[in-house]
Each structure stands twice: as C-alpha cells, then as structure tokens.
Structure 1
Amino acid sequence: MSVVYQQRAASRRWLTLWPLAVFLLLAAGGILWLWQAWPQVMMKSVVWQRDVNQQMSGLLKAVAARPAQAGGSLLLFSFLYGVLHALGPGHGKVVITTWLATHPSKLKSSIGLTLASSLLQGLVAIGLVVVVLTILQLPARQLHMSSFWLEKGSYALVGVLGVLLCVRALKKLRQLLRRPKFTAFTPHHVHHEGCGCGHQHLPDPEQLQNGDDWRARLMIVLSMGMRPCSGAIMVLLFSKVVGVFSWGMASALAMAAGTSLTITSLALLVHSFRSLAVKLSGHKAPVLWRQIGWTTLALAGGAVLIAAAVVMWMSAVPVGRGIRPF
C-alpha cells in the first residue's frame, strides 16, 4: 500500500512541473527559429533602422519649423522607437535576464535596476554629445568613436560582472561542499529570539540579500547604461544641426523611457518564471542540494556573461563600418 502511494505521489510531483516543461519547450523553439532566421532579421532591422532615421529627421525638421505642433509627435515617436528598439538583440537584456534568473531579487529592486540603467543610457548619450560637440568642439567622427569606445567599455564591464558572479558562486560552492567539523561543547546559555542578550543571532532576509550585492548591482547599471543608444546619438546630432538641441535631449529621454518599459516588462517576466521555478522545487530536494543547485545556476550565469562579453567585444564595430548585431 505504501509503495503504491509513493508511486502516485511521485507521479503527482512530476505533473506539477508542466509549466516549467512548457516554458523550456517554447524557449528551445524560439532559439531554434532565431538561429535560422537571424540573417533575415538582421537585414530587415537595417532597413527598418534606415526608415526610422528618415522619419526622425523629418520630425526634427518639423519641430524646427513648428515646435508647438510637431513636438508631441516627436516625443511619441521617440518613445515608441525606444519600446521597439529594446525588443531587438542587445547586451542589456542578456545582463538583466541572466542576473534575475540566477539570483534572488525583489520585484522593486529588479524594476529599479532597469529604470536606472535606461535613464543612465539616455544621460550618457546627452553628456557625450555635449562634451564632444559643444565643449570640446570636435567633429562628428570623434563623437562616433567616443560612443564606440564607451560601448567597448560596457562590454568589458559585462565580462567583469561575469567574473565576479563566478568567483562568488565558486566560494559559496566551496563552503557548501566542505565537510562540516563539529566539536563537543557545553552550553552555558541557550539563545532565543527574545533572550535579551543584545546580540543578533541570525541575519534577516534583507541583510542576506543586500550584503555585498550592491557591487554587482552597480556594475549591472553601468554595463547596461554606459553604452549610449545609437538612435539617441543620431537624434541629438541632427537636432544640434537644425538648431533644436533641447528637443533632441527630450527625444533621447523619451527613447530611454520606452526602453525602460520594454526591459522592465522582460524583467517582470523573468522574475515571475524564477519565482515559479522556486515554488515548484520548494520541497522536492534536501536544503543542501537546493542551495548547491541554485549556486551552480549562478555559476552558469556568470559563465554566460563572460561568453557574451567576449562575443560582443569581438563583434563591436564603429558606426558605419558594417552591420552591428548588438
């Protein structure tokens, strides 16, 4: 009787994993389709980028002639551009999805990361144009080269973040796999929650989460936001030429807002799937093996970031020298 009950319980446990199986199946299908359709996607994105640039140039000219009538259309178009542009391939999505999938994080903290990185990306584009073209009065070619090296720097930060996550995961795995040593002792006082000794015996969840994560979170924001958006650079450059640079800055910030909306939606999706995975695996394995499993996943996430950083560093080209995959 007990054997039959155990078999039924095991089958019920496997049935509870169907959402995770569906997600993995859809993810595998999406990756396979993207791999096969990648050349067509790249060519269509280049054509779409050209059409968008022409439309944006026309709106900026209209703003220069009729700012009150065309300003709203420019900001709305810039916002939609940011939303759609963030749907394409980019290192920011790789960073935020890898971090959220492999590390426990509160929902507000996840949204804060995406908002801060998107805002920083818009501000970096504005600051770069102001410094290079206004303060230093260098040619536009230097602007594109400065943007290129900032982009390379952001990819380097992605690699450093991956190394940091791998080192932390390896240290934790070493602690988990180390055989514990116990020595006999005689307790003189038994501590409990209200013993009044004035000590904090265990860290609370806030301290466990925020212990040294601020370094990784800062690196996430910098690696995502340090690379200025190419569309924002184009808008700022053309707006300076036609004499409506203030509208160009507003357009760049509208793009950043659209980008943050898309990245935040992606962060919410990844956060939900991670919460589902944690719930499904909650009591199906010993605590030690659950900790080892999540730590190994964090190690794999760091390795993914290192590999992505190497690929993006090698594939980065200055503006106007080939198709840019990221």
Structure 2
Amino acid sequence: MSLMTPVSRRSPRWAHLWPLALFLLAVLAGGAWLWHLWPQVMLKSILWQREVNQQMSGLLQAVAQNPARAGGSLLIFSFVYGVLHALGPGHGKVVIATWLATHPSRLKASIGLTLAASLLQGLVAIGLTVIVLSLLALPARELHLSSFWLEKGSYALVGLLGLMLCWRALKKLRLLLRKPTFIAFTPHHVHHASCGCGHQHMPDPQQMTSDSDWRARLMIVLSMGMRPCSGAIMVLLFSKVIGVFAWGVASALAMAAGTSLTISSLALLVHSFRRIAVRMSGHKAPALWRQIGWTTLALAGGVILVVAAVIMWVSAVPVGRGMRPF
C-alpha cells in the first residue's frame, strides 16, 4: 500500500499549463486595450505627423541656405522621425508580428527581414520620385496617386501571403490528421527519434529553417516595403522643389534606418515572447498540441493576414487625406 500513489495527490492533466494560459490571457487583454484606444492613437498620430512635417520643411529650407550647418540636423531629425514614425499603427508591424508569432524563426533571419523591408521602403520612395518627377516629368499629383496604388499593391501582397500560409498549414494538418503519429505513453516510456509521442521542447532544425523559403521571405519583404513612406515622399517632393534633392534622398535613407531600428526591436520582442510560450508549454503540454497545435497557430496567422489585408484594402485612401505610418 505504501508503494501506491494516492489519486488525490496526482496533478491534474492541465495543471502545468496555467502559466501559458496566463500568458495568453495577458496577450488578449493587451489586444483589447489597444483596440479600445485605436481611434485616439490614429488621431494623435496624424496630428503629430503634421507638426513634424512642418519642422522637416523648415530644416530643408535651412539646408538650402546653408547645407554645411543644417545638413547634420536634418539627418538626425530624419532618423528620429523614422524611429517614432514606425511606433504608430501600420501594416508592416502586423505582417512581421504575425509571422514571427505563428512560425518558428531564427532571430538573425527575422532581423534580416525587417532590415530589408525598411531599406526597400526608402528605396521605393526615392525611385518613385525620380521616375515620376524627373524621368516622366509628371505633376506631384501623379506622385501621390502612384504611391497610393503601390500601397494598395502591398496590401494585396499581405493577402496573398496570408493565403499561402493558410494553404501550407491546411496541407500539413491534413497529413497529420490522416496519418497520426502519436503513440500513447506507457508507464516506462522512452523517447526516441520515431516514438511519435510528440515530445518537443523547441522546433527541430528543419522547422527552424522553414522560413528560409524564398517565396515567403520575398512576399514578407515586398508586402512590408513596397508601400513608400508618406514622410519620405513629402521630404523628397519638397527637396525637389527647392533644389536640394540629394539631401532629400539622404533624409529618406535616414528615415529608413530609423524605421528599421523600431521594427527590428518589435521583431526581437515578438521572437522572445514566442520562445517563452514554447518553453512554457514544453513537454507539459498535451501531445496532441505538440503535434498539431503550432500548425493550427500558423493557420490562424494566415487568416489574420487575410482579414487584415481586406480591411486595409477597403479603408485605403489616396495619400494626402492623412499620413499613415509604416
């Protein structure tokens, strides 16, 4: 009798999952709070950007009069603008946060995606300004219209990325459900490579390199960076008018550098939270979750991107009715 363990002393099957449940509850509470404050955040963002744009115009005028004295101030201000500008709501953060939260990824690869997307955003703004204003000699109105359609195109890519992630997750789920690999635990279960128990603390090396698919990476970078920054367009346009376009290009690249810093910090934060969630679940989570749970989460991420793309496509307005951040 002394060798038998009383049933009342055994931990419930789900008792070890309470830290993960608290973590998910905190995430949901934070999302609800942000949703409640979203209209105020958007209004404050528009008003703040108008004030900053006026200061940027003043710095460009100062550069036109004395480049050696005002050039450094312009670049520093542009970098800080890029950092703060990226803190506001924008589709780039939705893409990278959803991808990192629902797919295993190495931190180095994640930071590389954010850097490439930020650089592309600055280069698209510069290239668009050169093509429309210099090569085609079109009015500024066409520059804003072209920027608007590039924005719509980036939203379409977000939707395509979401559909691709949904398709991949559904195929994997179908395979798992048709050919389950789980074998029930025995009293003296020994883990091995093909035991099928679902025991896994972290994604295996093959899963960690799943984000190396060039199609997924390319769509992430294009969907984040194809839309030119509204602030960079304003700076390039005004610098072209007053004859300091080279300084406008330098300012746009400084903005891109500042944006990359903020988005990379977000990527680091989301990546860290995902690792915490994986460790909290670990071998204590049910085997069924370890087999299909993360794939289901990837499916949810794809659905989120599709819904976000539809909302942004419908709500998009031509540039000029309000500045929207990265």
Alpha-carbon distance in 2 for matches of 1:112, 1:292:
28
Query: Corresponding residue for 1:97?
Result: 97
Identity among equivalent positions (%) equals 75
Deviation at 1:291, TM superposition (A): 2.5
Q: Which amino acid aligns with 1:170?
A: L
Q: Which runs of 5+ in 2 are unaligned?
A: 182-203
Contact kept? 1:315, 1:325, Cα under 8 Å = no
Cα 1:208–1:260, aligned 2, differ >3 Å: closer, same or farther? closer
Query: Corresponding residue for 1:191?
Result: none
Q: Which amino acid aligns with 1:52?
A: V
Q: Which runs of 5+ in 1 are unaligned?
A: 182-203
1:155 aligns with 2:159: no
Q: Which amino acid aligns with 1:122?
A: G
Deviation at 1:319, TM superposition (A): 1.6
Farther-moved stretch of structure 1 (238-247 vs 154-163): 238-247
Alpha-carbon distance in 1 for matches of 2:180, 2:268:
38
Query: Corresponding residue for 1:244?
Result: 244
Query: Corresponding residue for 1:7?
Result: 11
Kindly tell me the number of residue pairs found equivalent between the two proteins.
301
Query: Corresponding residue for 2:199?
Result: none
1:266 aligns with 2:266: yes
Deviation at 1:10, TM superposition (A): 6.4
Alpha-carbon distance in 1 for matches of 2:212, 2:107:
18
Deviation at 1:282, TM superposition (A): 1.4
Alpha-carbon distance in 2 for matches of 1:323, 1:245:
21
Q: Where do residues 192-211 of structure 1 align in structure 2 (5 Å cutoff)?
A: 205=205, 209-210=209-210
Deviations 1:194-252 (A, max 9, x none): xxxxxxxxxx8258724872211110000000000000000000011111111111110
Q: Which amino acid aligns with 2:265?
A: S
Deviation at 1:294, TM superposition (A): 0.4
Alpha-carbon distance in 1 for matches of 2:243, 2:114:
32
Query: Corresponding residue for 2:131?
Result: 131
Deviations 1:88-109 (A, max 9, x none): 1100000001100111100100
Query: Corresponding residue for 2:226?
Result: 226
Alpha-carbon distance in 2 for matches of 1:52, 1:211:
37
Deviation at 1:40, TM superposition (A): 2.5
Cα 1:56–1:323, aligned 2, differ >3 Å: closer, same or farther? closer
Alpha-carbon distance in 1 for matches of 2:325, 2:115:
24
Deviations 1:92-133 (A, max 9, x none): 000001100111100100000000000000000000000000
Contact kept? 1:92, 1:223, Cα under 8 Å = yes
Contact kept? 2:90, 2:324, Cα under 8 Å = no
Contact kept? 1:317, 1:324, Cα under 8 Å = no
Alpha-carbon distance in 1 for matches of 2:321, 2:53:
17
Query: Corresponding residue for 2:216?
Result: 216
Q: Where do residues 42-81 of structure 1 align in structure 2 (5 Å cutoff)?
A: 42-81=42-81
Q: Which amino acid aligns with 1:124?
A: V
Deviations 1:269-310 (A, max 9, x none): 110011111111110245553120000000000000000000
Structure 1 runs, 4 residues or longer, greater than 6 Å off: none
Contact kept? 1:111, 1:267, Cα under 8 Å = yes
Query: Corresponding residue for 1:278?
Result: 278
Contact kept? 2:144, 2:320, Cα under 8 Å = no
Query: Corresponding residue for 2:193?
Result: none
Deviation at 1:142, TM superposition (A): 0.4
Alpha-carbon distance in 2 for matches of 1:14, 1:207:
23
Farther-moved stretch of structure 1 (100-109 vs 207-216): 207-216
